[in-house]
Amino acid sequence: MDSISISDVQHLAKLSSLSLSENETENLRLDLTRILQYIELLKELDTDGVDPTYQVTDLCNIFREDEIIDYKITRSDLLNIAPDSDGESIRVPKVL
């Protein structure tokens, strides 16, 4: 793909619920065209023998066994210290 058309940009903008001016549409068209050209340039790189890099920080997940800790607190104790409860559960304001 050599370049992106104005109608392509307008279609993408519609799908993204964006309203673009003519100037913004043209600038985005040019930017997207340059991005695609750069990707085509990257396709020319010889990556044979190069392992994929999944992450660069050498971080790894630390797993541990789940442990049940008995704090000796009952349900009624927790309901008693709650600001508002209905006897069965803690009442909180609605969040929408």
26: domain CATH number is 1.10.20
Domain count, the chain: 1
Contact 8, 36 (CB under 8 A): no
Instruction: Specify if 28 maps to a domain.
Output: yes
Instruction: Specify if 33 maps to a domain.
Output: yes
32: exposed, middle or buried (Cβ count in 10 Å: 0-12, 13-18, 19+): middle
The answer, yes or no, to whether residue 12 has pLDDT greater than 90, is yes
87: its two tokens: 């006897």
- The model's pLDDT over 39-72, given as tens digits with 9 standing for 90+, comes to 999 889 998 998 888 878 888 888 989 999 999 9
Buried b (16+ CB within 10 A) or exposed e, 72-96: eeeeeeeeeeeeeeeeeeeeeeeee
Look-up of token digits 């020319």: 44
Q: How far apart are CA 13 and CA 19, in angstroms?
A: 7
The residue segments making up the domain with residue 17 are 6-42
pTM score of the predicted model: 0.50
Q: How far apart are CA 82 and CA 92, in angstroms?
A: 10
Query: What is the pLDDT, as a whole number, of residue 1?
Result: 59
